[in-house]
Structure 1
Amino acid sequence: MPFIIFIDFDYFYAQVEEIMNPAIKDKPVVVCVYSGRTENSGAVATSNYLARSIGIKSGMPLPQAMKIGKDRAVFIPIRKDFYKEFSDRVMNTISTYSDKIEIASIDEAYIDVTEECSTFQKAVELGKEIKEAIFREHGMKASLGISINKVIAKILGDMAKPDGIKYIDEFQVDGFLNNLEVKKIPGVGTVLSTKLKDAGIVYIKDILNRDPRAMIDILGNAKYTYLVEIAENRYNKPVEERIRKNFGRYITLPENTRDKFIIMPIVRKAVDSAYGKAPGIPGEISAIGIMEDLDIVSRSITGGRINKNSAYEIAESLMEKILDSDQRKLRRIGIRIGKITSNESLDDFFGT
């Protein structure tokens, strides 16, 4: 019987901002995507629970959110590169507990701990240990769900928010499914759940008592099969590592500095590491600078097949541009490569 742990970083973007600036953690925090059309045009990317409690939600137009949060909320521009780098660190911690990890998004992951745990209770104990490690090492609160498959684990993780943990073993699953509303199942959105409700389907078990042809008309073959497998407790899609589109390496400098004689050799080391992970030759390369105040500045170039020898020069040039455009000292540097195509020969890879 598989033991699956689902991990969800609570209100991730906003929580990262709270971690980096503890002075705002007791305030409504709103992470914003500015459109650039006007000073305040854009939308809310996410918000912490305090902001949600006063009515500021994801997707809300910024002018409306600012009206609600006037003199109360903290509005922060989104910093995607920084959140990705923070997520990578937390995911690295999680990956030390199992080789079978599926990173579902920047703030969600599944791990299969069947080989690590001889009983379900040991899986629960391990889940608690992982949750504590995430908070201890990164200050990040997470919600966990633990069960026998990915779907039930995710539903439990959603139910455990915020900062909780819920679990159901194999002996409790049937009872759980008997009372599970179909709208809580991953992949069943608002529109589809409304159609199912109109057809008399409120609980997942209801689907087993309906004409399959009628259900397929509403759901389509794939989703009908998916829901029937869940209802009959036959769903068993394994935890699978996602195919990575980007490969990179971040390295902390010995000290905060702008000294190129210190920085550039580490840039080359990061290039070596990134190319060592990639299964082919990239068509895109980015240099990332994490500044002394933890802000992130990046520069990228796209085009052609960039062999490793060329990448050294390109990466150094991109880092030069970061240093020329910003007077702050660097704390960490990163190199990320993407748009990978397969190697044709070692000469292609190394540029010889």
Structure 2
Amino acid sequence: MPFSRKIIHIDMDCFYASVEIRDNPSLQGKPVAVGGSSRQRGVLTTCNYEARKFGLHSAMPTAQAVKKCPNLILVPVNMPLYKQVSAQIHQIFRRYTDMIEPLSLDEAYLDVTDCEKCSGSATWIAKEIRQAIFDELQLTASAGIAPLKFLAKVASDMNKPNGQFVIKPDEVAAFVKALPLKKIPGVGKVTSQRLSEMGLVHCGDVQKLDQTILLNQFGKIGKRIWDFSHGIDKREVQPHRERKSVGVERTLRENIRDLTQGIALLDKLYEELIRRLERSLPNMPLSAFRKIGVKLKFEDFQVTTLEKTGLPLSLAGFQQLLTQIWQRSKGKSVRLIGLHVNLPEENKHEQMSLW
């Protein structure tokens, strides 16, 4: 199968922390993290490489991070600043293509198949983009170049920080065969462990397997693993990613164990969710939403979600879901509760904007 697309995945290096260090050079060379205070049970949003040497990583509780790295400099999150810098990065992208799919403020896919700059070389285009980001914004980015989306994302992680990696069309088969399954985007620790127990460690192992085995074991993600393991990824770069859900969540000041405590917290969360919905979709009646969900994070940071179609968007509906999902705690305390609602199909024209 010929590969005709040229896709670049750009991933900023330690984005929030790098912006803070750029704006405050006295932080240079010191372990720096951006996140919430340990007194507020906060977590790290990101940290620089000096901090990572101590075993710190994003989503780590701040209290734990400070124990591991007593000299850690913690900077509060400044979202308006990061959004502004992200917009500047996207202006650089647009010099090369309009086919930009943002994944978050600090990473995006670019389809440069039709770009004639740099003699049409995706490798040179990625180099130029990274150089422009460095020259104009004093920040570094890593890039992955490949004919498939998931491979571009895998490649951008190969030479971090401030590097790039290319997978040419004629290298795809060999690269995929040797690729560890845990490197596939969306394959987390639990899935990786289950695959390993089945004797599946590399994509090459999956290539010898019947597709139905993975589908039966893993459902939707099983199909994705099978496709990617065979070098199949038909997803195009989507300049306008549809917003699929609206949600709210709260990390609790103290863990709770009792369902009644959880039910008591739903009132405020539900009010906030309705406010968000009315703000983002003012013309849609609440009766149009037919799929709601509840998310819990336990004391061991395991996350579980329960969604139901056909339940009305109401406080009673969320109470019903919370009662069901609470049984999964099996004695563990709960540190986060989230509510979300999936947007109806006819909402296709509503575009998600990061700015």
TM-score by length of 1: 0.65
In structure 2, what is the Cα distance between the partners aligned to 1:303 and 1:171? Answer: 46
Look up the match of 2:56: 56
Look up the match of 1:326: none
User: Offset at 1:91?
Assistant: 1.5
In structure 2, what is the Cα distance between the partners aligned to 1:119 and 1:141? Answer: 20
Residues 18-97 of structure 1 aligned to structure 2 (within 5 Å):
18-34=21-37, 38=39, 41-70=41-70, 72-97=71-96
Give the aligned residue type for 1:170.
Answer: P
Structure whose CA Rg is larger? 1
Look up the match of 2:18: 15
In structure 1, what is the Cα distance between the partners aligned to 2:107 and 2:282? Answer: 33
Q: Deviations over 1:259-294 (max 9, x none)?
A: xxxxxxxxxxxxxxxxxxxxxxx964xxxxxxxxxx
Residues 180-199 of structure 1 aligned to structure 2 (within 5 Å):
180-199=179-198
User: Offset at 1:117?
Assistant: 4.5
Q: Secondary structure of 2:81's partner?
A: helix
How big is the alpha-carbon RMSD for the aligned residues of Structure 1 and Structure 2?
Answer: 2.7
Q: Deviations over 1:26-82 (max 9, x none)?
A: 1110112137xx4x6422221100011023332333233223333x32111111222
Residues 180-259 of structure 1 aligned to structure 2 (within 5 Å):
180-220=179-219, 222-243=220-241
User: Offset at 1:118?
Assistant: 9.1
TM-score by length of 2: 0.65
Give the aligned residue type for 1:128.
Answer: K
User: Offset at 1:186?
Assistant: 0.5
In structure 2, what is the Cα distance between the partners aligned to 1:106 and 1:140? Answer: 14
Compared with structure 1, are the counterparts of its residues 303 and 91 closer, same or farther at alpha carbon in structure 2 (3 Å cutoff)?
Answer: closer
Q: Secondary structure of 2:170's partner?
A: coil
Contact 1:10–1:161 (CA under 8 A) maintained in structure 2: yes
User: Offset at 1:183?
Assistant: 0.7
In structure 2, what is the Cα distance between the partners aligned to 1:304 and 1:191? Answer: 39
User: Offset at 1:159?
Assistant: 1.4
Look up the match of 1:293: none
Compared with structure 1, are the counterparts of its residues 95 and 303 closer, same or farther at alpha carbon in structure 2 (3 Å cutoff)?
Answer: closer
In structure 1, what is the Cα distance between the partners aligned to 2:98 and 2:120? Answer: 20
In structure 1, what is the Cα distance between the partners aligned to 2:130 and 2:102? Answer: 16
In structure 1, what is the Cα distance between the partners aligned to 2:198 and 2:150? Answer: 23
In structure 1, stretches of 5+ residues that fail to align are 246-281, 285-301, 306-338, 343-352
In structure 2, what is the Cα distance between the partners aligned to 1:4 and 1:113? Answer: 6
In structure 2, what is the Cα distance between the partners aligned to 1:119 and 1:219? Answer: 43
Look up the match of 2:97: 98
In structure 2, what is the Cα distance between the partners aligned to 1:118 and 1:24? Answer: 37
User: Offset at 1:121?
Assistant: 7.4
In structure 2, what is the Cα distance between the partners aligned to 1:170 and 1:303? Answer: 42
Residues 220-299 of structure 1 aligned to structure 2 (within 5 Å):
220=219, 222-243=220-241, 284=279
Compared with structure 1, are the counterparts of its residues 169 and 244 closer, same or farther at alpha carbon in structure 2 (3 Å cutoff)?
Answer: same
Contact 1:120–1:169 (CA under 8 A) maintained in structure 2: no
Compared with structure 1, are the counterparts of its residues 68 and 202 closer, same or farther at alpha carbon in structure 2 (3 Å cutoff)?
Answer: closer
Compared with structure 1, are the counterparts of its residues 14 and 231 closer, same or farther at alpha carbon in structure 2 (3 Å cutoff)?
Answer: same
Identity %: 34
Give the aligned residue type for 1:88.
Answer: A
- Total equivalences in the alignment: 250
In structure 2, what is the Cα distance between the partners aligned to 1:225 and 1:114? Answer: 27
Compared with structure 1, are the counterparts of its residues 62 and 229 closer, same or farther at alpha carbon in structure 2 (3 Å cutoff)?
Answer: closer
Contact 2:211–2:223 (CA under 8 A) maintained in structure 1: no
User: Offset at 1:226?
Assistant: 2.2
Compared with structure 1, are the counterparts of its residues 111 and 230 closer, same or farther at alpha carbon in structure 2 (3 Å cutoff)?
Answer: same
1:150 and 2:149 equivalent? Answer: yes
Contact 1:147–1:170 (CA under 8 A) maintained in structure 2: yes
Compared with structure 1, are the counterparts of its residues 50 and 168 closer, same or farther at alpha carbon in structure 2 (3 Å cutoff)?
Answer: same
Compared with structure 1, are the counterparts of its residues 66 and 116 closer, same or farther at alpha carbon in structure 2 (3 Å cutoff)?
Answer: same
Q: Secondary structure of 1:159's partner?
A: coil
Give the aligned residue type for 1:7.
Answer: I
Compared with structure 1, are the counterparts of its residues 235 and 114 closer, same or farther at alpha carbon in structure 2 (3 Å cutoff)?
Answer: same
Q: Deviations over 1:97-153 (max 9, x none)?
A: 101110111111010111014999711111101110111111111110001011111
Contact 1:195–1:218 (CA under 8 A) maintained in structure 2: no
Look up the match of 1:266: none
Give the aligned residue type for 1:30.
Answer: A
Give the aligned residue type for 1:160.
Answer: N
In structure 2, stretches of 5+ residues that fail to align are 244-276, 284-342, 348-355
